[in-house]
Amino acid sequence: MPLPTHFLLVVIASGGLALLALVRKRPATFIFAASQTMLVRALARFSEQGRPDSLLYAPRWVFSREILGTAAIIVTLSTLLLAVFTALPSREGRLDPRTLPPLPRWMLWTLAGYFLLVVVSQRWIFSVGYASDEQQILSTPIGGVQTLMSSMLLYEICRRVWVEQWSAARGLLTVAVVFVFTDYLRGATGIATGYIVVTAFLLWQPGATRVRTALRVLALLVAVSGFAMMVRMTRTDVHERGFASVQTAADNMLAGGSGEGLDEAASTPQFAAHVLDCVALYDGGKSREWRSLSDPIIFTFEPAFLTGPLGIERPVSAPWEMGSYFLSLGGISIFGEAYWNGGYLGVVVFIGGLLALCYFCDTRFRSSYVWLVMLLNVGPVLLAGVNYGVSYEFRAVVNGLLQLAIFRFVFARKAAPRVPVLVGRGVVVPTVASPAEPAS
């Protein structure tokens, strides 16, 4: 089968699975499938047109048919795994939102103070260029602390909407406003968009049909994604060119009948090229030898601020290691990183493990407090993690465990009383829903 046809079939399958995940209310799986669909579109363009002009820094030989053929097998394996986990049944039962512990008032003030600090301690792309020295002087890091705080904020917003203290529109608007000021206005788009996508799923309108509500959520996602792409395309020069930069970006996004402008706006060709780079490294005998499994653990227990005083030499992360072989603008596609570690077996282990995590988050969050917290941490980060490597999702899992520990040991909430939870249609089962005893 010709490579362009092969990639086209994978694009159709991935897109169809993304729509299925949307209708089945599976946010993490939807984010993965949608991200894969865009990446395979870029690979399809490579197979037809060769190296694009936007990737002149990448060596032409990595776009060979042999390497593209290996990439086609990688995304095919990923699509098969995606189909399996998307087809698996959901867990019936629903957690009574009244049993969810609210954040204490002092924590709400802490969150407000933290996000206010983030806003006032950075320069926006209207005043300086994105990632410039001027911006970095005042910019706060977006490491694990910010994503942990964001997940706790999203938890409280969802809880208030579910117990009907807030409307869904108010909850979604609050999330959007927070991330506009903390992320979008300084040029950061990936994780912020992930949080809005997950919020749209969690605040799903309960009264409408699945298809009708899915269409509403999809329309919202298209609008948010378009805004994020506009930020990405204007963040380096909007402070100098103003509206002219926005007009140029809009023209570029609409350029090309097959959507090349949208691919470029999302930096998808860059991430697709990472897959080819990783294939070239592994097939050339430079395997990572599964270090992507151990590195995140080492990074977690060897924080950067301790390396100097203790004289610790941390291992090189996957994106930096790849950058020592190929010129890269940052990030590393999880599809390429998986293959770089262990070939096709690595693809099955890494992608299969990630999709299993997505499956449990997506199908258990309605009935389990623990999996709800894990989804709030894993799902939003996945939008960036697919393109920036395994360590992103590992950090998200650690944040989820930290949030559970904070509820259990810091907030010291007592176990909630037993309340009825509806399972299936009309069957009532008593259960306990609390941080100490998640609903089953």
Question: pLDDT for 42-53, tens place per residue?
Answer: 999 999 888 888
**What is the rounded average pLDDT for all residues in the chain?**
82
pLDDT of residue 438: 39
Residue 435 CB burial class (10 angstroms; 0-12, 13-18, ≥19): buried
CA distance 358 to 253: 31
Please name every residue paired with 421 in a beta bridge, in sequence order, or none if there are none. Answer: 429
CA distance 49 to 398: 42
Compute the distance between CA of residue 170 and CA of residue 387 in angstroms, rounded to an integer: 31
C-beta separation of 410 from 76 below 8 A: no
Separation between Cα atoms, residue 92 and residue 413, nearest integer Å = 26
Among the residues of 142-288, which ranges form H helices? 144-162, 168-182, 190-202, 210-234, 238-241, 243-254, 260-265, 268-283
Lookup: tokens for 194: 């992930």
The number of beta carbons lying within 10 Å of the beta carbon of residue 148 is 19
Instruction: Look at residue 77 and tell me whether its pLDDT is greater than 90.
Output: yes
Single pTM value for the model = 0.85
d(CA 28, CA 33) in angstroms, rounded, equals 9
Task: Please report the pLDDT score of residue 207 as a whole number.
Answer: 57
| Calpha distance 196→131 (Å, rounded) | 23
pLDDT tens by residue, 377-434: 999 998 888 888 888 888 889 899 999 998 888 876 544 443 434 444 333 333 333 3
Other beta carbons less than 10 A from residue 145's beta carbon: 14
Q: Are 108 and 156 in contact, with CB atoms under 8 Å apart?
A: yes
pLDDT class for 134, splitting at 50, 70, 90? Answer: confident
CA 49: distance to chain centroid? 29
Q: What Rg do the C-alpha atoms of the chain give, in angstroms?
A: 22
